[in-house]
Amino acid sequence: MKLIATSVVRGSFQGESHGGVYLLDLDQQQVTQPLDWNTADIDWQGRGWDRGLRGIAFHAGLVYIAASDELFAYTPDFQPVGSWRNPYLKHCHEISVHENTLFLTSTAYDSILGFDLIEKKFNWALHVDLEGLNYKGSIYDPYGDEGPLSLNKLHLNMVTATTGGLYISGRKSGGMLLFNGETIHMSAMLPPGTHNAQPFREGVLFNDSDSDVVRYASRSGDEDRALKVPLYPSSDLTHQDFDDSRTARQGFARGLCVINERLIAGGSSPSTICVHDLQEGKTALKVNLTMDIRNAVHGLEVWPY
């Protein structure tokens, strides 16, 4: 079995690598980096911002990977196929495919964008807003002039597309929301700072990033698992002169995927991927990609090819 991961490098200088794509062979315990992301055409302002690669999805034999404001398609051997931009795609995090549509989080615009995988164009957009105690979803034209302002109120970072609707969450969303095609309601209350919240089994699986743990909580309350992400001795870390509140910190939990009903994989910084056994409540495998404190896992999926 293989996993694919993307990473971002917080606080890197122009000309340095600022993330890439990694393939992890869990059986052979081998790691390869088929793609190193290094371009001068990026925004160099604070924290992760535009550096690095983010969400990962698959469709019709292709690999789709999002950067901050651009969607890329690759063959399974990482030959580029195409790329697409949209004026309302900014600070993208995770992406998700359902049938022939790819959905992308646009964190800056508190939106979810839809990309038609057959026509290869953006064709739908949803703005999520909180009005008092109620969430409101507004559909808009992703190429029109009447879209939302770039406010980043909810810091939406996760979307899971299902036949029942779109599950959406963010650091400031209050929990995992469900858009059923007409309305938005709260599906599960979650703590602030959450990443990668997704429906799993009879509950919700998520990175409780502010607490440095990955958690599974059942809706019934009968099961609540919390597994700590790895922390390393300070002497083992590199580039610590950049490690402040504006750039990076170790133990930041982000990147999460389901292997099966028992095993999950989670990412953290410095770029580390752990396979957790929920049944046993322990970490079964840990793979460290780098001790560079600036380098953080972002996207994480099971490799299907």
Q: Which domains does the chain have, with CATH numbers?
A: 2-302 (2.120.10.30)
**Band of the pLDDT at 41, cuts 50, 70, 90?**
low
Are the CB atoms for 154 and 182 separated by under 8 Å? no
Mean pLDDT of 111-116: 98
Per-residue model confidence (pLDDT) at position 276: 97
Percent of the chain exceeding pLDDT 90 equals 81
DSSP string, 178-245: EE-SS-EEEEEE--TTEEEEEEETTEEEEEEGGGTEEEEEETTSS-EEEEEPP---GGG-B-GGG-ST
For 56-121, the DSSP string reads: EEEETTEEEEE-SS-EEEE-TT--EEEEE--TT--SEEEEEEETTEEEEEEGGGTEEEEEETTTTE
User: Does the structure show a pLDDT above 50 at 22?
Assistant: yes
Structure tokens at 153: 């109120």
Confidence grade of residue 245 (pLDDT, cut at 50, 70, 90): very low
**Distance of alpha carbon 159 from alpha carbon 156, whole angstroms:** 8
Cis omega (within 30 of 0) for bond into 270:
yes
* φ, ψ dihedrals at 18, nearest 5°: -130, 45
Instruction: Report the pLDDT averaged over residues 278-305.
Output: 94
Residue 1 has pLDDT above 50, yes or no: yes
Cα separation values, 267 from 90, 100, 294, Å: 23, 28, 14
Mean pLDDT of the chain: 91
- CA dihedral angle for residue 166, residue 135, residue 255, residue 229, rounded to 10 degrees: -140
Alpha-carbon distance of 81 to 205, in angstroms, equals 33
End-to-end C-alpha distance for the chain, whole angstroms:
10
| pLDDT tens per residue, range 185-234 | 999 999 999 999 999 999 999 999 999 999 999 998 889 999 999 999 99
What distance in Å separates the CA atoms of residue 49 and residue 201, rounded to the nearest whole number? Answer: 33
Query: Could you tell me which residue, 239 or 119, shows the higher pLDDT?
Result: 119
Q: How confident is the model at residue 17 (pLDDT cuts 50, 70, 90)?
A: low
Over residues 82-101, the mean pLDDT reads 97
